[in-house]
Amino acid sequence: MAIQVVLVEPEIPQNTGNIARTCVVTGSVLHIVGPMGFSLDEKHVRRAGLDYWKDLTLYTYECIEELYQKYPNGDFWYFSSKVPRSFHEADYSRDCFLVFGKETAGLPKELLEQNESRSVRIPMRGGQRCLNLSNAVCVGVYEALRQNDYFSLK
């Protein structure tokens, strides 16, 4: 069992590298839905993930429908700064999918509307746009882990 982190169309290689590192140290799995704004071979991604890449469980998809086909019964939760429900109100399963959008636009409006009851936000001060993507992923992952007694993390 593992937390599943989904990045939809990530644009900044350093964020993806940092997220990969978070996935490795928490035992989470990283799923990347394209198109990406960079290549996974880029030195910036590798540098941000340091020597953790060899331990990363990573899957890539051309579109989100491909991810849904692979996990038709997945427990998907969609993170956005544009929805009212707080992330701590969700009940995350041991194999939940935490879905995050690209840095400049977040998740598509249609996707959030189709999944309104499963869309959550991280509370922030009013007037602020959003957290950095890698920070938001870390917050979401650790809340899902907390709700599941951190699995066997030490």
Backbone angles phi, psi at 101, to 5 degrees: -90, 180
pLDDT tops 70 at residue 45: no
Q: Average of pLDDT values for 132-142?
A: 97
The helix (run of H) or strand (run of E) holding residue 26 is: helix 13-26
Note the pLDDT tens digit of each residue in 69-123.
999 999 999 999 999 999 999 999 999 999 999 999 999 999 999 999 999 999 9
Q: How many domains does the chain have?
A: 1
Residue 16 is part of a domain; what is its CATH number? 3.40.1280.10
Q: Does the annotation place 17 within a ligand binding site?
A: no
pLDDT tops 80 at residue 42: no
- Enter the tokens of residue 105: 């636009």
Q: Does the annotation place 34 within a ligand binding site?
A: no
Residue 38 lies in a domain: yes
- Enter the tokens of residue 71: 């996990």
pLDDT tops 90 at residue 134: yes
The number of C-alpha atoms within 13 Å of 26 and in the hemisphere containing its C-beta is: 28
Domain that holds residue 113: 4-147
Note the pLDDT tens digit of each residue in 110-119.
999 999 999 9
SS (H, E, C) 29-85: EEEEECCCCCCCCCHHHHHHHHHHHHHCCEEEECCHHHHHHHCCCCCEEEECCCCCC
pLDDT tops 80 at residue 49: no
pLDDT tops 80 at residue 132: yes
Residue 102 lies in a domain: yes
Residue 79 lies in a domain: yes
Residue 103 lies in a domain: yes
Query: What SS3 state is found at 129?
Result: coil
Q: d(Cα 86, Cα 11) in Å, to the nearest integer?
A: 25
Residue 106 lies in a domain: yes
Residue 154 lies in a domain: no
Q: d(Cα 97, Cα 109) in Å, to the nearest integer?
A: 19
pLDDT for 65 equals: 97
Residue 153 lies in a domain: no
Residue 122 lies in a domain: yes
